[in-house]
Amino acid sequence: MGSWNSMELKILSTVLGERMGSWNSMELKILSTVFGWIASIRSSAVQTQYHNKYGFNQIIPVAANDVAFSSHAVLLTAFTLFQITIYDRGTQKVSRITMVIVLVAWTTVAICVCVAMPKHSWLWLVSCFNMLQVSMTVIKYIPQAIMNSKWKSTIGFRMDNILLDLLGGLTNYGQMAVQSIDQHSWVNFYGNIGKTLLSLVSIFFDFLFIVQHFLLYPVKKTEKSPSPDPGNHESLIISSQNV
């Protein structure tokens, strides 16, 4: 089994993994993050299939922060859904497009499971779930990017989350690069293609939102309206009394 060659690089990877906790974007939620969590579990069957495919001298590209991130996303998503059920939503409801997307996603999951079970292709199944997570992330970002472009504004859009998301994506790549340098191999990137693409997609949209917010549609400082003249205010009161 593969192991770290450099203790210094192992520590650096751990530090970058902790910084990845800033990456708090929550993909189109319960569906993708649950399977991201399943993909992060170090089952012996998945490990064996991974080593058979990429070599027994390679480290499994799943760090403790990957499990923590997926678990964190599941818990927050579940809590958000709970809030949706107990708080007033007014006239808001789940759109038909969202329902179709969820239906297609669950159908895809069912098909992949049925295909994987007879041959026990668990590594392939994990890869399918990872690609589903990437797809959900793209679907999550596109409406916001279109809305910003349509309204030529990003007012009301929280950029602090985007900056944290960008920080997490960059440190995620840094962690993967450190492991690749230690192992003298780039298997860590294409052997965990879901994590690689997820970081790439997030970083791409983060930069897009940053460009929209700070360059294309910057928030203009509105001029303060002049304070009312006390004299005029008093005259209005007097005149109204005389009426």
18 versus 236: which is more confidently predicted?
Answer: 18
Q: What are the structural domain ranges in the chain?
A: 7-87+96-220
Query: Residue 240: is its pLDDT beyond 50?
Result: no
Query: Residue range 68-85: average pLDDT?
Result: 81
Q: What is the pLDDT of residues 129-148, one digit of tens each?
A: 888 888 988 998 999 999 99
pLDDT in tens, 13-50: 776 665 555 444 444 444 444 444 454 444 778 888 88
Residue 206's pLDDT band, with cuts at 50, 70 and 90, is very high
Q: What does pTM read for this prediction?
A: 0.75
Long-range contacts of 211-218 (CB under 8 A, 24+ apart): 212/145, 212/148, 212/149, 212/154, 213/148, 213/154, 213/157, 213/159, 213/162, 216/152, 217/148, 217/152, 217/153, 217/154
Please report where in the chains the tokens 């993994």 appear, as a residue.
Answer: 17
Is the pLDDT score of 175 beyond 50? yes
More confident residue, 103 or 126: 103
Q: What is the mean pLDDT of the chain?
A: 78
